[in-house]
Amino acid sequence: QAFLSVTSILNVAVFRDHFVLEDLVGEMKKQSPALSFGPLQPDGQIAVQGPFPALRVLREFLLLKAKSLSEEDKKEAKSHQRTRRKLQEPRDATETRNSTWDAHREKQVLVLDTDIYHYMRHFFPSPFQAKGVVISGVTDGDITTVCIEDAGRKAGAAHGLRVKKTIENYSVALQKVLRKERLCFREHSTGEKLRYKQLCEGLKPHYPNILTIPYDTHIDVVGSSADIFKFTEQVR
């Protein structure tokens, strides 16, 4: 299996109060002609399938939409906040500064294939261990959303962007060379799962660049075409 396309479920219900969702989906289709869109569900969810670069562009487009709406909401909230401040007691200066900093901490978000995300975390962990940022990943099936957040004043938005770009570059490079093979369990017994796991663990020293990801019904093997072919043949 090559990492050429992915299917993601998007929830655009958050835009319902600001846009006609059908019009928004039409705009998304014009923005990303390389993607295939499923039907818009009543709850605001829609399936999107296509290559990662196009999916990443669509995500950035939606994030910009959300950011513009958030800024409008903030402006409206500030006008109400000014009237409330006179009624509030003065806060400690340090607490106020910290609260202001927390409210303006920069976040960067990118979408990765889940298998490539696991492969990077295992073999190339340094970008995820960068100082000055906090990196978290939320996995939803084949997609993992990575959030990069500034951890302190000295980091700044530029540092978060550099870390994001580094991870993106790793991802693009790995997409070109990695492949995935799935070893499905013929039976779902605990004994068979343990047997497959032991076989994989025994072969790993001979294939140091192979990553195995166990699930309840199968084991995914991620690596170069040559390595996963030999590895899975030996396991079978």
What DSSP letter does each residue of the chain carry, written as one string?
Answer: -BSS-EEEEEE-GGGTTTS-HHHHHHHHHHH-TTSEE-PPPTTSEEEEEE-HHHHHHHHHHHHHHHHHHHHHHHHHHHHHHHHHHTTSPPPPHHHHHHHHHHHT--EEEEEEEHHHHHHHHHH--GGGG-TTEEEEEEEETTEEEEEEEE-STTTHHHHHHHHHHHHHHHHHHHHHH-EEEEEE-SS--HHHHHHHHHHHHHHGGG-TT-EEEE-SSEEEEEE-HHHHHHHHHHH-
- The domain in which residue 117 lies consists of 107-178
Question: pLDDT, tens digit, for every residue of 65-95?
Answer: 887 776 665 555 555 555 454 444 444 433 3
The domain spanning residue 140 has which CATH number? 3.30.1370
Domain identity same for 173 and 192: no
CB hemisphere CA count around 3 (13 angstroms): 25
Nearest CA to 2 out of 209, 181, 172 is that of 181
Domain identity same for 160 and 188: no
Tell me, yes or no, whether 94 lies in a domain: no
Query: Which of 66, 85, 119 represents a domain boundary (last residue)?
Result: 66
Q: Which residues does residue 180 pair with via DSSP β-bridges, in sequence order?
A: 222
Looking at residues 201-216, what average pLDDT do you find? 93
Note the pTM of the prediction, 2 decimals: 0.59
The domain spanning residue 223 has which CATH number? 3.30.70
Number of domains in the chain: 3
Q: Which residues does residue 220 pair with via DSSP β-bridges, in sequence order?
A: 182, 213
Domain identity same for 123 and 165: yes
Distance CA 154, CA 221 (A): 40
pLDDT band, residue 98 (cuts 50/70/90) = very low
pLDDT band, residue 5 (cuts 50/70/90) = low
Question: pLDDT, tens digit, for every residue of 114-141?
Answer: 899 999 999 999 999 888 888 988 887 7
Distance CA 48, CA 35 (A): 7
Tell me, yes or no, whether 142 lies in a domain: yes
